[in-house]
Amino acid sequence: MTRKQKRLSVIAGGLAFLGAATGLTFYALGQKASYFYMPADLTTTSVQPGQRIRLGGLVEKGTIQRGQGATVAFSVTDTHKSVKVTYTGILPDLFREQQGVITEGTFGPDGVFVADSVLAKHDERYMPKEVADGLKAKGVWQESKSE
């Protein structure tokens, strides 16, 4: 190989590498990013059982049931619709009735959302940003409502 050919092959190799990395990144974004939904969104979009999503909303009052061991069942609501969720594990310290949560997991075949993580990260108003935005968009929650 001449020097020029060598250089060309090095450049081609580098470009192929970058192309592969870019392709992989976009493939992963399409496959592995989990979308955020509120319960009412689920009537308009179809989510397959087994597809990973994040479900946010308020913990509906009076729905927290502690089952066997560390399994907890509760409903997540955006006041229009609510979705049943089960979770096995330790709930975050900030998990309370009528406060915002984000759960991540998949729908089981029976329509119950099986969460493998429950987040109650919060700003000053005990509301995850996504949930607050979602509730605002639905006209359920206004800034002024909280002190």
Partner 1 sequence: MVETGHFALVLAFALSLVQTIVPLFGARLNNQRLMAVGGPVAITGFALTALSFAALASAYANSDFSVASVWENSHSLQPLIYKITGTWGNHEGSMLLWVLILTFFGALVAAFGSNLPATLRANVLAVQGVIGAAFFLFILATSNPFVRLNPAPIEGRDLNPILQDLGLAIHPPLLYLGYVGFSICFSFSVAALIEGRIDASWARWVRPWTLVAWMFLTGGIAMGSYWAYYELGWGGFWFWDPVENASFMPWLAGTALLHSAIVMEKRSALKIWTLLLAILTFSLSLLGTFLVRSGVLTSVHAFATDPTRGVFILCILTLFIGGSLALFALRASRLTAGGLFHPISREGALVLNNLFLTTATATVLVGTLYPLALEALTGGKISVGAPFFDLTFGPLMLPLLVLVPFGPLLAWKRGDVFAASQRLMAAFASALAAMLVTGLFIDGASVFAALGIGLAVWLVAGALTDLAVKSGAGSVAPAVMFRRFAGLPRSVFGTALAHFGLGLTLLGIVATLSFGTEKILTMRAGETVELSGHTLRFVGLYPAQGPNYSEDRGRFELIGVSGSPVGEISSAKRFYPVRQTTTTESGIKTLGLSQLYVSLGDEGKDGSVVVRLWWKPLVTLIWGGGLVMMAGAAMSLMDRRLRVGTPSRRRKQASVVTPAGLP
Residues near partner 1 (CB under 8 A): 6, 10, 14, 17-18, 21, 24-25, 27-29, 31-36, 52, 54, 66, 69-70, 88-91, 93-94, 104, 121, 123, 128-130, 133
Beta bridge partners of 71: 88
Shortest distance, position 90 Cβ to partner 1, whole Å:
4
Cβ 36 vs Cβ 130: under 8 Å: yes
Cβ-based nearer residue to partner 1, 81 or 91: 91
Residue type, 116: D
How far is 72 from 44, CA to CA, in rounded Å? 28
Count other C-beta atoms under 10 Å from residue 140's C-beta: 17
Local structure of 56: helix, strand or coil: strand
Shortest distance, position 16 Cβ to partner 1, whole Å:
12
Cβ-based nearer residue to partner 1, 20 or 112: 20
Cβ-based nearer residue to partner 1, 27 or 62: 27
Shortest distance, position 89 Cβ to partner 1, whole Å:
6
Shortest distance, position 105 Cβ to partner 1, whole Å:
12
Cβ-based nearer residue to partner 1, 28 or 112: 28
Shortest distance, position 67 Cβ to partner 1, whole Å:
11
In terms of Cα–Cα distance, which of 107, 119, 127, 108 is closest to 42? 107
Cβ 29 vs Cβ 22: under 8 Å: no
How far is 39 from 60, CA to CA, in rounded Å? 12
Cβ-based nearer residue to partner 1, 29 or 110: 29
